[in-house]
Amino acid sequence: MSIDNQSKQLVLRTDALTKQVTTGEQQLTILHDINLQIMSGDAVAIIGASGSGKSTLLGLLAGLDLPTSGKVHLNSVDIFALDEDDRAALRGKIMGFVFQSFQLLPALTALENVMLPLELARTPDAETPAKRLLERVGLGQRLNHYPKQLSGGEQQRVAIARAFATNPRLLLADEPTGNLDSANGTQIIELMFELNREHGTTLVLVTHDEALSRRCSRQIRLVDGRLIH
């Protein structure tokens, strides 16, 4: 646990976060007593072997899943004290996501995919910022292409543009380069960090990618669901 800069604000804090699941008759603890703090502007990589609980932790930090015990404070708000809808509203307001499998809606064009979070937030003109972001990620010429007409790297760039559309304070990424070759992966990493700087976003990402984790200001390692400092 470290506080690099006293001027930074605390964005995310977990208190004894624990997640257990029951498979058959066995109870499996995926996360043990996780305590961590993430400050604004940080770029944090959660690393660990397969099955160490990285994605589960990310899901809990985003409020996408419920813990067995423990708390997550986002901007001092105990997110599990909120109901699912309030958590969704909080996500819409301050979080952005990038997923390993991109999670673009196949029926929507690149532009429409980026417009979607803005439309959900009832932004009157969703198109202008969405176009600007797609141009920023180098897809200005491919606005009206469907996901299936785009390469993997291009799809992930659309996903990144979408993640930044609502100008989030916290960007969560789950293996963002996991489905990409190394050249595309590098480009995506560059793009994400550039945007992170431009928008002053706090970045939390789960990765296997050593190159990617080295670019982060902090690495948090999980071994069998425990945090190794």
Partner 1 sequence: MYQIKLPFQMMYRDWRAGELNVLLLALIIAVSGMVTVGFFAERVELALARESNQLLGADLLLISSKPIPEQFAEEANQLNLKISWLTKFPSMISNGEGNLLTQIKAVTEGYPLRGRVHLSKRSPGGSVSQPQLQTANGIPPRGTIWIDEKVMTQLELQRGDIVDVGAAQLTVTELIAREPDHSVGFINMGARAMINADDLEATGLIQEGSRASYQMLIAGEIDSVKQFRDWAKKRLANYQRLEGIRDARPEIKAALQRAEKFLSLTALASVVLAAAAIALAVRRFTQRHLDGCAVMRSLGASQNQLLFLYLVYFIGFGLIASGIGCLIGFGAQQALTHWLTDIVETDLPWPSGLPVLQGLLIGLVLLLGFALPPVLNLRSVPALRVLRRDVGLSNFHSIAGYLLGLVALSLLFIWKAQDLKLGLYVVIGFAAAIVIFGCLGWLLIGILASIRHQAGGAWRYGLASIRRRSVSSILQAVALGLGLMALLILTLIQDDLVKDWHASLPPEAPNHFLVNIQADQLQPLQEFFQHHAMEQPAMAPMVRGRLVQINGKKVSTKNYSDDLHAERHIRREFNLSWTSELSLDNQIVQGAWWQGDNIEPELSIEEGIAATIRVKLGDVLTFDIAGSHFTAKITSIRKVDWDTFRVNFFVLVPPGLLENYSASYITSFYVPPSDLAVIHDLVRAFPNILVVDVALVIRQVQQMIQQVSQAIEFVFVFTVLAGFAVLYAAIAATQDERIQEAAIFRALGAKREQLSRAWAAEFAILGGLAGLFASAGATAMGFAIGKHILHLEYTFNPWIWVVGISTGVIGVLIAGLLGTRSALSTPPLLTLRKLG
Q: Which residues bind partner 1 (CB under 8 A)?
A: 55, 58-59, 62-65, 84-85, 88-93, 95, 97, 99-101, 103, 105-109, 112, 116-117, 119-122, 124, 146, 148, 152, 162, 166, 174, 179
For residue 25, the minimal CB distance to partner 1 (Å) is 20
β-bridge pairing 26-39 and 202-207: unpaired
Q: Which is nearer to partner 1, 65 or 78 (CB)?
A: 65
Using alpha carbons, select from 69, 7, 130, 10 the residue that is nearest to residue 139.
130
For residue 111, the minimal CB distance to partner 1 (Å) is 11
Helix axes 152-165 and 110-120, enclosed angle (nearest 10): 20
Q: Which is nearer to partner 1, 95 or 212 (CB)?
A: 95
**Strand (E) or helix (H) holding 76:** none
Q: Which is nearer to partner 1, 89 or 228 (CB)?
A: 89
Long-range CB contacts (< 8 A, 24+ apart) of 150-157? 150/110, 151/184, 152/102, 152/179, 152/180, 152/181, 152/184, 153/180, 153/181, 153/184, 153/187, 153/188, 154/110, 155/102, 155/104, 156/98, 156/102, 156/180, 156/184, 156/188, 157/188, 157/191
CB distance 100 to 160 below 8 Å: no
For residue 110, the minimal CB distance to partner 1 (Å) is 12
Using alpha carbons, select from 37, 56, 49 the residue that is nearest to residue 218.
37
For residue 206, the minimal CB distance to partner 1 (Å) is 9
Q: Which is nearer to partner 1, 39 or 156 (CB)?
A: 156
For residue 100, the minimal CB distance to partner 1 (Å) is 7
Q: Which is nearer to partner 1, 42 or 112 (CB)?
A: 112
Q: Which is nearer to partner 1, 39 or 79 (CB)?
A: 79
For residue 75, the minimal CB distance to partner 1 (Å) is 15
Q: Which is nearer to partner 1, 92 or 138 (CB)?
A: 92
DSSP assigned state of 142 = G
For residue 6, the minimal CB distance to partner 1 (Å) is 31
β-bridge pairing 10-23 and 26-39: antiparallel
